[in-house]
């Protein structure tokens, strides 16, 4: 059961209503995922929404790569809702089903485009060691530029926050949806 469900409209403070407007003013269709939980801190909710909008929709990376970074983060945190929400977006963005499934099961994808392989190594090393080696960093900068490498860090960091909120709040998948990761 979700620990931090949406706050009933008649119980919302003015600050919470303002945060909801911030969340829904951009490209998001509603208050879903971590945002119902984050409403307990309206300023954090609004600021997270701004950062998330940039990380999700406005980086220099193509959707295929930003969604791949999100999936790697979701896997590392076993964030069920995050995976459920972003696997279809990764597929729509052009990431192959084989790569999506390999990441979901904790395996290195057998066949990746060169930029996918660099992103995979960068994100996986970051999550596994909490650092990135000079060699891995150099490949990321060569492939994505400094801006792209920093944006990959931003995407990964933002989705760690999202995963922590989702997991702690126990945000549930829609009825009938299969859990991506065993519990």
What's the CATH code, domain 63-167? 1.20.1290.10
Residues 60-102 pLDDT 10s: 999 999 999 999 999 999 999 999 999 999 999 999 999 999 9
Q: Is 38 exposed, middle or buried (0-12, 13-18, 19+ CB in 10 A)?
A: buried
CA distance 159 to 169: 15
pTM, to two decimals: 0.95
The 3-state secondary structure of the chain, one letter per residue: CCCCCCCCHHHCCHHHHHHHHHHHHCCCCCCCCCHHHHCCCHHHHHHHHHHHHHHHHCCCCCHHHHHHHHHHHHHHHCCHHHHHHHHHHHHHHCCCHHHHHHHHCCCCCCCCCHHHHHHHHHHHHHHHHCCCCHHHHHHHHHHHHHHHHHHHHHHHHHHHHHHHHHHHHCCCCCCCCCCCCCC
CA 178 to chain CA centroid, Å, is 19
Q: Does residue 119 have a pLDDT over 80?
A: yes
Give the pLDDT mean for 161-165. Answer: 98
Per-residue pLDDT band for 155 (boundaries 50, 70, 90) equals very high
Per-residue pLDDT band for 181 (boundaries 50, 70, 90) equals very high
Mean pLDDT of the chain: 96
Give the pLDDT mean for 153-169. Answer: 98
Task: Give the per-residue pLDDT at 69.
Answer: 98
CA distance 46 to 69: 23
Per-domain residue ranges of the chain: 9-57, 63-167
Residues 100-115 pLDDT 10s: 999 999 999 999 999 9
**Neighbour tally for 149: CB within 10 Å:** 22
Question: Which among 120, 161, 159 is positioned nearest to 140, based on CA atoms?
Answer: 120
Give the pLDDT mean for 161-181. Answer: 96
Task: Give the per-residue pLDDT at 30.
Answer: 83
CA 24 to chain CA centroid, Å, is 18
């Amino acid at each position: 059961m979700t620990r931090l469900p949406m706050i009933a409209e008649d119980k919302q403070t003015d600050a919470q209503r303002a945060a909801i407007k911030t969340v829904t003013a951009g490209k998001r269709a509603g208050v879903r995922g971590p945002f119902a939980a984050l409403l307990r801190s309206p300023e954090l909710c609004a600021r997270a929404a701004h950062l998330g909008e940039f990380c999700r929709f406005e980086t220099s990376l193509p959707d295929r790569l930003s969604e791949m970074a999100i999936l790697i983060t979701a896997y590392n945190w076993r964030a069920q809702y995050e995976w459920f929400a972003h696997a279809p977006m990764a597929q729509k963005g052009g990431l192959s089903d084989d790569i999506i499934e390999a990441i979901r099961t904790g395996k290195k994808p057998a066949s990746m485009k060169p930029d996918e392989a660099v992103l995979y190594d960068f994100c996986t090393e970051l999550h596994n060691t909490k650092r990135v080696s000079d060699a891995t960093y150099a490949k990321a900068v060569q492939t994505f530029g400094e801006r792209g490498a920093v944006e990959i860090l931003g995407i990964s960091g933002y989705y760690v926050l999202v995963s922590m909120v989702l997991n702690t709040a126990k945000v549930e998948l829609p009825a009938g949806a299969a859990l991506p990761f065993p519990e």
